């Protein structure tokens, strides 16, 4: 222990602190996802099959994967605020593995020549990107605030995961409106939204959370 360093200054500065509880940012992100979904429904309307109470199977799978991916990545992000050697948060990798099936299936189907509305419904695709991004920004905010409070030791990874989590939750919000069930459309536009948000997260978040 170096003699020149005066620990008494730190001791005098001590104030009680509440240990970080990851449930708080997760609840706030979940609440913001619900609000984003409500705004999408208000501005764009709900899918007809959902309104009729008979949701399409593809919609259910897509919604489930997006929610699982967003939730698992958000859980990993909030856990990163409290570091510990030997602790791993790899649940998001499983969810990402499931999500990757969409672009893989899209490539296989597209190779047969059936691209569905993926290239003809560009307006809808761009709306998917836009809403996912805006919804993602909203859900990313509590995660970034949490990471700034905590001590994330891998800012770059935290950035990727924040982008992935917020992109997944933002895309889930738009998915309540999105009328398409075509796998090529989903594999292309939803993957683009997730990749776009992840890259933004990697570029923006690390510089905000370094300590």
Partner 1 sequence: MIAREETMRDLMRLAQLGDKQAYAVLLEQAGRWLTRFFASKISQDAVDDLVQDTLISLHRKRASYDPSRPFLPWLAAIARYRWVDRLRQTYRHAADELLDQHSENSHEDEVGAKISIDSLLHKLPEAQALAIRLVKIDGLSISEACARSGQSEPLVKVNIHRGLKKLAALIESE
Q: Which residues bind partner 1 (CB under 8 A)?
A: 1-2, 4-5, 7-8, 10-20, 81-88, 149-151, 153-154, 156-157, 211
Location of structure tokens 């979940």: 30
- Nearest approach in angstroms of CB 150 to partner 1 is 4
Report the length, in residues, of the chain: 211
Between residues 40 and 164, which has the closer beta carbon with respect to partner 1? 164
Q: Look up residue 2 and give its DSSP letter.
A: -
* CB nearer to partner 1: pick between 87 and 207: 87
Which of residues 120 and 154 has its CB atom nearest to partner 1 in the complex? 154
Q: Smallest distance from the beta carbon of 165 to partner 1, in angstroms?
A: 18
Q: Measured from the CB of residue 6, what is the shortest distance to partner 1 in angstroms?
A: 10
Q: How many CA atoms lie within 13 A of 12 on its CB side?
A: 4
**Helix (H), strand (E), coil (C) string for 3-67:** CCCCHHHHHHCCCCCCCCCCHHHHHHHHHHHHHHHHHHHHHHCCCHHHHCCCCCHHHHHHHHHHH
Tell me how far, at minimum, the Cβ of 156 lies from partner 1, in Å. Answer: 7
Kindly tell me which of 60 and 151 has the beta carbon lying closer to partner 1: 151
């Amino acid at each position: 222990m170096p003699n020149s360093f005066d620990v008494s200054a730190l001791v005098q500065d001590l104030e009680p602190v509440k240990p970080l509880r990851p449930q708080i940012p997760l609840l706030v992100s979940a609440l913001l996802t619900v609000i984003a979904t409500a705004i999408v429904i208000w501005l764009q309307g709900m899918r007809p099959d959902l309104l009729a109470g008979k949701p399409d199977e593809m919609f259910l799978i897509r919604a489930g994967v997006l929610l699982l991916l967003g939730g698992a990545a958000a859980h990993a992000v909030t856990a990163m605020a409290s570091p510990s050697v030997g602790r791993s948060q790899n649940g998001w990798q499983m969810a990402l593995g499931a999500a990757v099936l969409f672009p893989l299936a899209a490539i296989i189907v597209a190779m047969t020549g059936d691209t569905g509305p993926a290239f003809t419904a560009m307006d809808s695709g761009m709306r998917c990107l836009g809403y996912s991004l805006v919804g993602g920004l909203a859900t990313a905010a509590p995660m970034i605030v949490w990471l700034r409070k905590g001590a994330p030791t891998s800012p770059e990874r935290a950035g990727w995961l924040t982008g992935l989590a917020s992109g997944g939750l933002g895309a889930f919000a738009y998915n309540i409106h999105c009328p398409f069930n075509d796998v090529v459309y989903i594999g292309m536009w939803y993957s683009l939204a997730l990749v776009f948000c992840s890259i933004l997260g990697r570029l923006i978040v690390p510089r905000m959370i370094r300590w």
